[in-house]
Amino acid sequence: MKKWPTAALCPLFVFLLSIQAYAQSFDLRILHVNDLHGFAEAYKPLGSREPLGGVAYLAGRVNALRRGQPTLVLAAGDMIQGNNWANMSQGESVIEAMNAMQFDVMVLGNHEFDFGQAVLKKRISEAAFPVLCANVEGLDRVKPFIIKEWSGVRVGIIGVVTEETPVATHPRNVSGLTFLPVAETVEKSVRDLKNRADMIIVLSHIGHAADRALAETVKGIDVIVGGHSHTRIPRPVRVGDTLIVQAWEHGKALGVLDLTIRDGRVVGYDGRLEAIKPQPGSEDPKILAIVERQRQRVDRILNDRIGEAMIDLDGENVRKRETNLGNFIADIMRQVSKADAALINGGTIRTNISRGEVRIKDVYSVLPFDNYIVAITLTGKAIAEALEHGVSGIEEGEGRFPQVSGLTFAYAPSAPKGSRIGEILIAGKPLDPGREYSVATNDFLAVGGDGYRSFAEAVKSSKTFSVVGGTLQGEKVVYSDSGRWLRDVVVEYIREKETIAPGSEGRIVERP
């Protein structure tokens, strides 16, 4: 057998080793956003001195960061619904912008279902990227996971949405669908990918607390890119061997996670959030043109002035305390329906109204959902149960926190869930558990949305309960106007009043 000279063999051996090391080491950049909610234009968040966000500026930064290295651009759900810019096209404008930005993958969020399944399927068919959701059965066009490959390194991406989706959107939007337990679904998908992927990313729309629990429960996840809770995570959080990231909301930040992968394992990482602001010259002209064209379309419809706000109306803190905007909307619902009280979920209210001119588009941004006013008959006991449920998710910032009219209540946020509510007054008198009261709400809560079972049980206990032409009916339903969305009722009210200046009045009192 012919032998290689030693002098020639050594450089060859070093060369082969260097090739092997190069093949086994791989750098991957993940750029991620979540909970965009159609906020395509920059805006000033409550208390901010400068505007944040703007998808044209987000796209410009994505373009800069993806140059010269393998990059994944991921969307962690709740992208197509929320702001008027998205709602007036039922999310088509968002998909157009995401296609132009060349997103790689998106997971469904609960609000992707808000326009109904027919619209959702259309949006999915328009997307130039895969849409994932492993834990939903009955919805075609979505995939449980995909595998992306670079330089021989295979990356499996699994998508999951919150199990609470059936109570986070109107029941009609998820009819016929089954939402499976997240942890069991991910565990199964990880097993399915065991010999097909070198590393696993979970693209999650379940919230940060649930992401942490998932990382503790299911082994084999390298990265969780999260959404749903609108959590601002400046640096990656490590739980066991899993990195968890989330990029706030509304495109106000871009998540950047740089991974070094060797032999199919993450051996190094660095992550951050980059603030997105409207800086001239940093925008992507193509995306800016899409934003402007869709904005003009929306403005033609919604730019009519309807009145003036004498103060700022707070729609950002509706998930944790009484706010003047929550009071304002609840008052309108109670007055229109002539009910004894009103209760809505804070999650119905999506943004603020700033002091100054109020236009139709401002109200539509605050109330983007297609909900109408319903008043139902509830016992005092059922009202107390509803309020108890409403304050049970304050730690997680859940949208079920109540905004009320015609009643006041005290609660202790530090008390155990289920025993937080104290004194309840209606019309200044203590609540009578056995008495019946009329309570205004929206049709979403009336059928059990956000987990308000007290409402749903009362409505469905009606002997004559039915839904005719989309309208709830039954002897327990004392008011039901499906012909006008709540937002249009609010628009009409402001037109009539011309000026508004609602306040906070101590309707919700926090006790130690």
pLDDT tens, per residue, the chain with 512 residues: 333 344 444 554 444 344 444 446 789 999 999 999 999 999 998 888 999 999 999 999 999 999 989 999 999 999 999 999 999 999 999 999 999 999 999 999 999 999 999 999 999 999 999 999 999 999 999 999 999 999 889 999 999 999 999 988 888 899 999 999 999 999 999 999 999 999 999 999 999 999 999 999 999 999 999 999 999 999 999 999 999 999 999 999 999 999 999 988 899 999 999 999 999 999 999 999 999 999 999 998 899 999 999 999 999 999 999 999 999 999 999 999 999 999 999 999 999 999 999 999 999 999 999 999 999 999 999 999 999 999 999 999 999 999 999 999 999 999 999 999 999 999 999 999 999 999 999 999 999 999 999 999 999 998 888 877 678 889 999 999 988 999 999 999 999 999 999 999 999 999 99
* Residues 250/37, Cβ–Cβ less than 8 Å: yes
Q: Is there a contact between 54 and 41 (Cβ–Cβ < 8 Å)?
A: yes
Please give the pLDDT value at position 24.
Answer: 63
Q: Are 490 and 332 in contact (CB under 8 A)?
A: yes
Q: What is the pLDDT of residues 202-243, one digit of tens each?
A: 999 999 999 999 999 999 999 999 999 999 999 999 999 999
Identify whether the C-beta of residue 130 lies closer than 8 Å to the C-beta of residue 146: yes
Residue with tokens 């919700």: 508
Residues 6+ apart with CB under 8 A from 204: 76, 107, 159, 160, 182, 210, 211, 214, 224, 225, 226, 227, 228
DSSP 238-259: EETTEEEEEB-STTSEEEEEEE
What is the pLDDT at residue 16?
A: 39
Q: What is residue 6's predicted lDDT score, i.e. its pLDDT?
A: 45
Contact 457, 175 (CB under 8 A): no
Domain ranges of the chain: 26-293, 305-510
CA 496 to the chain's CA centroid? 33
Domain 305-510 in the same topology as domain 26-293: no
Alpha-carbon distance 27 to 363, whole Å? 46
Q: Where would I find the beta strands (DSSP E) of 276-400? A: 305-309, 341-345, 356-359, 373-379
Distance CA(222)–CA(352), nearest Å, equals: 38
The CATH superfamily label for domain 305-510 reads 5'-Nucleotidase, C-terminal domain (3.90.780.10)
- The neighbour count for residue 241, using CB atoms within 10 Å, is 12
Residue 15 phi/psi, 5-degree rounding, is -65, -45
The CATH code of domain 26-293 reads 3.60.21.10
456 CB neighbour count, 10 Å cutoff? 18
Please state the pTM of the whole predicted model.
0.81
Give the C-alpha separation, 365 to 303, whole Å.
12
